[in-house]
Structure 1
């Protein structure tokens, strides 16, 4: 499956291919932003495509990727189970909790949870 744009609860969402390449560089993140920029508002990225570097906050990669989405005023939804990463890092738990309170980056377990957040307007 390739990346697809779908309307989810009235919002255009780029659902990134679960079998797509890992997102390992800022350019990879910008490529997703480019796809979203063509008519969507949200990028739903499978968590496993982000890899260990994203979830190891000392690399600063998560901050770089998240900031790109903020700069372009787009929503990044990290979709999937990240419980192993959360169990290993209190800093990541804090980042996820803080992000989920905002409007630019959400961590959700699945697309149904994304729909609920979109429906609620946050």
Structure 2
């Protein structure tokens, strides 16, 4: 996995990309986030969708809720970037839309969009 740090007005943004699935559950997400915070000082994470397990995108598993709650508890903001067009689940599409209207978690198409959303987030 690659970690690139981008300095932004509201704090550093860590861009996580490449490699195999790293985020499989809330514990793994927190371990990764805390390691990134320790290494880069960033509490804003732009995460390549390929680093997130497929169960995250099946809302009935509860994985997404557990991971996002854990990150929120530790004051992380995150944007997961990648292609969401092939998901047919209405609940998932609603979840993505609602998240994108918030200020902590975003689902976008590109790394550039992820960095922009995290830069703009209060």
Task: State if a TM-score over 0.5 links the two structures.
Answer: yes
- For the structure 1 residues 120 and 76, does the alpha-carbon distance in structure 2 shift closer, same or farther, using more than 3 Å as the test? closer
1:58 lines up with 2:60 in the alignment: yes
1:108 aligns with 2:111: no
RMSD: 2.0
Segments of 5+ residues of structure 2 without an aligned counterpart are none
Structure 2 residue matching 1:54: 3-state secondary structure: helix
- In structure 1, the gaps of 5 or more residues are none
Q: Which has the higher contact order (CA 8 A, sep 6+)?
A: 2
2:13 alignment counterpart: 13
**Aligned length, in residue pairs:** 120
Q: Structure 1 46/115 Cα, relative in aligned 2: closer, same or farther at 3 Å?
A: closer
Quick one: structure 1 residues 64 and 116, their matched pair in 2 at CA, closer, same or farther if it must change by over 3 Å?
A: same
- How far has the Cα of 1:62 moved from its partner? 0.3
Moved more, 67-76 or 23-32: 23-32
Q: Distance in 2 between matches of 1:26 and 1:120?
A: 26
The normalised TM-score by structure 1 is 0.84
- TM-score of the two chains, using structure 2 as the length reference: 0.84
- 1:26-47 CA-to-partner distances (Å, cap 9, x unmatched) read 2210122203433112111111
Stretch of structure 1 that moved more, 111-120 or 93-102: 111-120
For residues 50-107 of structure 1, the C-alpha deviation after alignment (integer angstroms, 9 at most, x for no partner) is 132000000000000010111111101101111112xx20000111111111111111
Moved over 3 A (4+): 8-11, 118-122
Q: Which residue of 1 aligns with 2:24?
A: 24
- Secondary structure of the 2:86 match is helix
